A and B are shown apart, each in its own frame.
Chain A
Amino acid sequence: MKIKKIWWTDAIFIIMTLASFTCVLIPAGELNPKLAGIPYSVWVGLVYCILYVLLAYIASNLQEEGPDDH
């Protein structure tokens, strides 16, 4: 069951990564919409960082455990 579940995190990772090379993360010449005065690509980039680390955490919990896991 865990093996099946982990493909969802992989799928989210791939979608997020492909989207990161588009205007979702890097719109050319665009500063807006700002968040608390922070330019768009900076705060969305920070959200990306948090989501990737969160996704990695979820994936690490869903991974199969090996003989030397603990």
Chain B
Amino acid sequence: MITSFIIAGSIYLTILIYLAQRSRVKEKTTSNYLMGGGNLGLVLGLFTTAATIFSAFTVIGMPDFFRTHGIGAWIFLAVADAMMVYVLIRVGVVVRRKARSSDYKGMAGLLMNAYGYKFAGIVAFIGVVTFLIPYISVQIRGVSIFLNAAFPDALPVWGWGTLIVAIMIIYSEVGGLRAIMYNDTLQGIILFIVIWVIGWNCMREFGSVSAMFAKVEATKAALLSVPGPNGLFTTQFFIISAISIVLLPFTQPQISTRVIIMKSTSALRKMAIGLGIFATLVILPTMFMGMYGAVLYPDSTVQEFIGHVLLYDQAPAIAALGLIGLIAAAISTSDSQIFALGTELRSLLTTDDKKALFITRIFIFVVGIVALLFSILSSEHLVLLARTSFAGTALLGPLILVGILSKKKPGLLIPICTLVALVVFVLSNAGVLPERYGPIEIEICLFAFLLLATGIELLRLNAQKEVS
């Protein structure tokens, strides 16, 4: 398999270098370097957004989630992603128009202008930094551990992590967002092909889809309904996940930037529909992989299971492709997230463009290093950490939506309440504060708190309107 991997890896790297070189930006400006020229077409927009959303947690995390917790994972991600598509069409179009009517450089900067003070932008920046860096780290770690297990004599875990971060930073530095989007497109296509080839092989092991489910039912019937054998998929879990995922296009800057730089509203609408179809088609084979694991490897560790499903149970060429798909999935999300954090910082800087861009590029490098260091320390619970990241950034939802959609400048109430909610959520995740209050989970409490603050603020703005 190592020969196949080296050949496939060399081809993959050559294409990455070619695409980075092709999109090379000589005279870097915020517009061409951070915003990729701001004229994103349908195909590029679809694949770069899809590859950014579907990360290593899709390839490693979701099959294991299906294997451990059952078919509730399908509702958790596929149905919530389809919900997101509708909201993206209805709200995304308005957000895009508003953002493009101003000098958009990043969500934090947009909020700073919308609220009329820097504090609102800083709260948004703190939120995305806090919840994206751990997510980036856990992806790098997940893939590095897996590569180390596949090739124990090649590199240590930190060596694979360094290599992945170096690849991301180099091509981001050379070509900016345009290079990332070209590479995401390549990686999105690889991810789609790989996941279907492997998922199809897993399903074929049973002969048919119905035979697969019959076998799982005979092995552990609780996997085929909610809340699953471990009781994870409660109604509250689904509500929190749905809110978090539906808000992703507005609260995670790597996605919101793509939404805003689509070349037309029409292209955005088509991209959103394509994204819904892509999401369903990408998650379906991870269910086949998970059901395969539930029957054949019910008690294995995550690494053992993923090792079998992606590598050892596949033909060498497919296994090599599987590894490339896994690397592609991790890189395509992490690079966009690291770069988006840089964009967010840039949008808060009011200095001249050349200097601001220089600071941003240094910041992107530093974020890459910090993510690498975190990856050496982080846990391996990919899906749950991804969900925490989604929920954490979802707390920014009211701040972002009210700021962008309101015709008047909102007051300090929502930014202050958002900051409080972020601190409480971090302390709750750190174990300092409880994760639930009575039967209610902390995320629901915080969403309700922010909804209340939003209601009060909207009433206040409305009263202002009537007085004036």
Contact = CB atoms under 8 A, between A and B. Distances in A.
Nearest to B277: A53
Contacts of B280: 46, 49-50, 53
Interface in A27-52: 27-31, 34, 36-42, 45-46, 48-50, 52
A49 B82 CA distance: 5
A6 B1 CA distance: 54
Contacts of B213: 34, 37-39, 42
Given A39-B213, A45-B74, A56-B89, A21 B235 contact: yes
B358 to A, nearest CB: 32
A25 B239 CA distance: 13
A28 B85 CA distance: 27
A34 B79 CA distance: 18
Contacts of A60: 89, 269-270, 272-273
Interface string A1-32: 00000000110010001001100011111110
Interface residues of B, number: 48
A50 B281 CA distance: 11
A50 B235 CA distance: 22
A10 B90 contact: yes
Interface stretch (B46-54, B110-118, B224-232, B376-384): B224-232
A60 B276 CA distance: 13
Contact of A56 (B214, B226, B272, B287): B272
Secondary structure at the B interface, as helix, strand, loop or mixed, is: helix
A29 B272 CA distance: 33
Nearest to A22: B235
B86 interface: yes
Q: Which of B221, B238, B265 has the most CB of A within 10 A?
A: B265
Contacts of A27: 225-226
B90 A59 contact: yes
B211 to A, nearest CB: 7
Interface residues on A, range: 35 or more
B441 interface: no
Contact of A26 (B81, B93, B238): B238
B322 interface: no
A50 to B, nearest CB: 8
A27 B46 CA distance: 34
B85 A53 contact: yes
A63 B86 contact: no
B209 A37 contact: yes
A28 B209 contact: no
Contacts of A48: 79, 82
A51 B217 CA distance: 28
A54 B355 CA distance: 47
Contacts of B90: 10, 59, 63
A52 B83 contact: yes
Given A28-B226, A41-B226, A53 B276 contact: yes
B441 to A, nearest CB: 14
B217 A31 contact: yes
Contact of B74 (A29, A42, A63, A69): A42
B40 interface: no
A45 B226 contact: no
B78 A39 contact: no
The 6 A-B pairs at the shortest CB distance, nearest first, are namely A37-B210, A52-B82, A53-B276, A60-B269, A49-B82, A39-B224
30 contacts: A10-B90, A20-B75, A20-B79, A20-B242, A26-B238, A28-B225, A31-B224, A36-B209, A36-B210, A39-B213, A39-B224, A41-B72, A41-B74, A41-B226, A42-B74, A45-B78, A48-B79, A52-B276, A53-B85, A53-B276, A56-B86, A60-B89, A60-B270, A63-B90, A63-B93, A63-B269, A65-B265, A68-B100, A69-B265, A70-B264
Interface of B: 71-72, 74-75, 78-79, 81-83, 85-86, 88-90, 93, 97, 100, 208-211, 213-214, 217, 221-222, 224-227, 233, 235, 238-239, 242, 263-266, 269-270, 272-273, 276-277, 279-280, 287
Given A26-B235, A39-B224, A41-B75, 19 more contacts: A17-B83, A20-B83, A20-B242, A26-B75, A26-B238, A27-B226, A29-B225, A36-B209, A38-B209, A45-B71, A53-B85, A53-B276, A53-B280, A56-B85, A56-B272, A56-B273, A63-B89, A65-B265, A68-B264
